[in-house]
Structure 1
C-alpha cells in the first residue's frame, strides 16, 4: 500500500512538472505568435485579419511541403510501375536528327492520337 502511494505521488509530481513545462512552452508560442502578428510579415499576410497565427501557418506549410516532397519522390516510381509506354527515348532520336524535316517528327499518344510538331 505504501509503495502504491509513493508511485501515485511520483506520478502526481511528474504531471505537475509537465504542466509547468507545457505552460512555459505555450507562453513562448503565444509570445512568438504575437510578435510575428505585429511584424511586417504578419501585416503582409494579414494573420490577425484572417484569424490565424504564425505557428498554425508554419505547421500547415510544413505539412504541405512534406506532402509535395513525398509525391515528387514517389510519383516517378508509380508511373514506372503503371506500364506506361511513352518515354523520352521513344521520341528523341527521330526528332533530334537534323536531316529529318520537323513536319515528319510525329508520334502517337497512349490513346492513339497523332502528335506532331507545329
Structure 2
C-alpha cells in the first residue's frame, strides 16, 4: 500500500482551516515542542483512541516520518483521509514553522 506523503514544502503556511494535525510522538517529545493546533495521540495508543481523531483531512507527524507513516497507513485502512509529513517535526522546525512547548524552555524537537 502506498502511504500518502507530503514534504514540508507542500504544506501550506499557515495551515488551512479544516486541516487537522495528528502528532503520534511520545509524551516527552510532545512536551518539548509541537504544532499548536495538533492533537496528541502516541502511535501505540492510536487504535484505542481513533474516535479522538476528527473526520476530515489529517496531516500526521512524528519526529522524522517513520511512525507517522505507520499511523497514516493504518488511518487510511480505517477509511480516514490522512497524509504523512515526510521529514516530520525535524523538517517543520528547520523550515521555521511555529511550535509551542509544554516546558519552561523554547520549543524544540527532541
TM more than 0.5: no
Query: TM-score band, normalised by the shorter chain?
Result: under 0.3
TM-score, normalised to structure 1, is 0.17
Higher helix share: 1
Higher strand share: 2
TM-score, normalised to structure 2, is 0.17
